[in-house]
Amino acid sequence: MGRELDLAPYGALRKSQSADSLNSVSSVSNTFGQDFTLGQVEVSMDYDAASHTLHVAVLQGKDLLEREEASFESCFMRVSLLPDEQIVGISRIQRNAYPIFFDEKFSIPLDPTALEETSLRFSVFGINEDERNVSTGVVELKLSVLDLTLQPFSGWLYLQDPNKAADAVGEILLCLSYLPTAERLTVVVVKAKNLIWTNDKTTADPFVKVYLLQDGRKMSKKKTAVKRDDPNPVFNEAMIFSVPAIVLQDLSLRVTVAESSSDGRGDNVGHVIIGPSASGMGTTHWNQMLATLRRPVSMWHAVRRN
C-alpha cells in the first residue's frame, strides 16, 4: 500500500477516528450549496532551469462568454504574477466561438527560488457593447504545488467569480488521492495559514471538518484534532472514505475550517468545495486526482466565508 500511496512529504500522518462508507442511497437531507463554474481554460507550463524561464501557454477556453447577467461577444485573457500583481501576458481579443482558441505563449524570467512563493493568476475579461472590459472569471495557481522543475504541467483550470475573492479568510493545503482497486478516497488535511477568526476574535482554536457529499447530500463527516491558538496550524491528518468508482462523478467534498469551543458549538471560519460541480481550484484539484489515480495530488485552496 505504501508504494501506491506515498504521502511521505507530509511527515507522520494521523488517520481520522471514523471510517464511514458511502451508501448509494441516503435519507440524509443536508444539502450544501455548490459553486457555479464560470467557464474553464486549458493551460500548460514548464520551467527551463538553465535559463531561469517559466513558459506559459494559454491554449483554449470553454463557456467564457455565457453569463446570465450580461452578454459578451468577445473576450481576452490576462496572466499575472503574484504576489506582485505583475502582468506578464495579455492575449489577443477573441470573438464569440466555442471553444475559444487562444494559442498564446508567454515566457517569464523567474528565479528558481521564486517558484515556492509565486502564483499565476489567469483572468478572463469580457468586452460588452460599450467596449468596456468586465472581469468575468479568475483562477489562481500556486507554482509550489506543481513541481515544475521535475515535470511540466498541463490541464484545465476552472474559473470562479472574481467578486468572491474578497471572501477569503485564509488558505488550506489539501492532498487527494483515489485508489480504484480498494475503492478508497484519501483526503489529507495538511495545514492552513493566515486564518481570520470570526467575530473579530484575536485568538481561537481551529480544527477542520471534511464532509463527503453525494448530489449535495451529506454522506459522511470526519474531523481533525484541535490546534490551540494557531492561525497557521499544521494537521497532517489522513481521512479515508470508502467510495465506489461508479459514484465518483456524483461526489464532492466540503472542507470546513472551524473554531473549537467549550460547549462544542464553535463557529465556522469558512469552507472549500472540491468536486466536479465546484468551481476554480475545487474542480481543478478533483480532475487532477482522477487523471493521476493512485498518486497524491496536493493543492492550496482559498478558504471562503460561509
Question: Which residues are CB-contacts of 84 (< 8 A; sequence separation ≥ 6)?
Answer: none
- Higher pLDDT: 283 or 230? It is 230
Q: How many whole angstroms separate alpha carbon 3 and alpha carbon 125? A: 44
**Minimal CA–CA distance to 301: which of 287, 209, 279?**
279
150: confidence class by pLDDT, cuts 50, 70, 90:
confident
**What is the fold of 39-160?**
Immunoglobulin-like (2.60.40)
Q: Same CATH fold, 39-160 and 14-34+167-304?
A: yes
Residue 246 has pLDDT above 50, yes or no: yes
Arithmetic mean of pLDDT, 229-234 = 93
304: confidence class by pLDDT, cuts 50, 70, 90:
confident
* pTM beyond 0.75: no
Q: How many whole angstroms separate alpha carbon 100 and alpha carbon 91? A: 12
pLDDT tens-place string over residues 22-72: 332 222 222 233 344 578 899 999 999 999 999 999 999 887 766 544 567
Q: Which amino acid is at 172?
A: I
Virtual torsion, Cα 25, 28, 33, 36, nearest 10 deg: 0
Query: Are 85 and 105 a contacting pair, CB within 8 Å?
Result: no
Cell reading at 206: 481551529
The pLDDT of residue 23 is 33
Burial 29-53 (b: 16+ CB within 10 A, else e): eeeeebbebbbbbbbebbbeeeeee
Q: Which amino acid is at 132?
A: R
235: confidence class by pLDDT, cuts 50, 70, 90:
very high
* Structural domain boundaries in the chain: 14-34+167-304, 39-160
**What is the fold of 14-34+167-304?**
Immunoglobulin-like (2.60.40)
